Amino acid sequence: MRIGATTRLGVLLGDPVAHSLSPALQNAAFAAAGLDAVYVALRVDAAGLPGLLRGLAAAGVFGNITVPHKEAAAVLLDRGSDAVAATGACNTFWVEGGRLCGDNTDVVGVRAAAEALLGTLRGARALVLGAGGSARAAVWALVQAGAEVTVRGRRPERAAALAAHFGACGVAVRLASGALRGAHFDLVVNATPLGLGPEDPWPLDPEREGVVVGAALDLVYGVDETRWVRALRARGVPAHDGLEVLLHQGAAAFERWWGRPAPLEAMRAALPPR
């Protein structure tokens, strides 16, 4: 990779970002497509996000937003996509005609990964764990595909805000109140950060909580699969981590930035094997 005065810059903004595989994914895509561009990760806290995002946009930088800034980024846009409006969250940004534009390609990624597990999502009973920007994308992806969605947030007020947001859009989202014992879900999606740390508790323990889980999708990923995914699979539950979500949301972001198909196989080859 040669970097010169004409090289375009792409960035990932979040906190933390040290674990992210997005630089490897996007730099592989840029190389395969013959683009003069480089992609790096920048850690930024909540207070620093508005100034940094606006400053980068003024310089023509494009990129992605990750936890915990997806909801905050959505309100900074000059123009957001339908997915941003539906979810109230943004994970992809670029500059067009001097205006800061954004999309939520997590919606594409979650749907692709969930369909890889279940096939059709129509009529599926899904439980989304979490109530932040990633959870909003997961809810919208599942609802759009015809699933019935229940949400359980670690902070009840955020879960209530999520349900109210979708309710205002005419989308009914159930809130899990109290224990889930005896419930049966075709798919459980972990949209919390639990699993980023090696000592993190599981986002859901089906046996302890008495929940039947048909399949599980963990949006957390790393070089290795999360402990939760490995444990569920050992119990016979089909489970994937977030690499497939990362791949497809990254490909959709590439297409927003460059207006051309993403080199999907080159991007897949840049990720750890599964």
Catalytic residue (one of 63, 66, 69, 70): 70
Residue 70 designated active-site:
yes
- The residue behind tokens 């800061």 is 100
- The rounded distance, in Å, linking the Cα atoms of 22 and 71 is 19
- The rounded distance, in Å, linking the Cα atoms of 98 and 59 is 10
Catalytic residue positions? 70
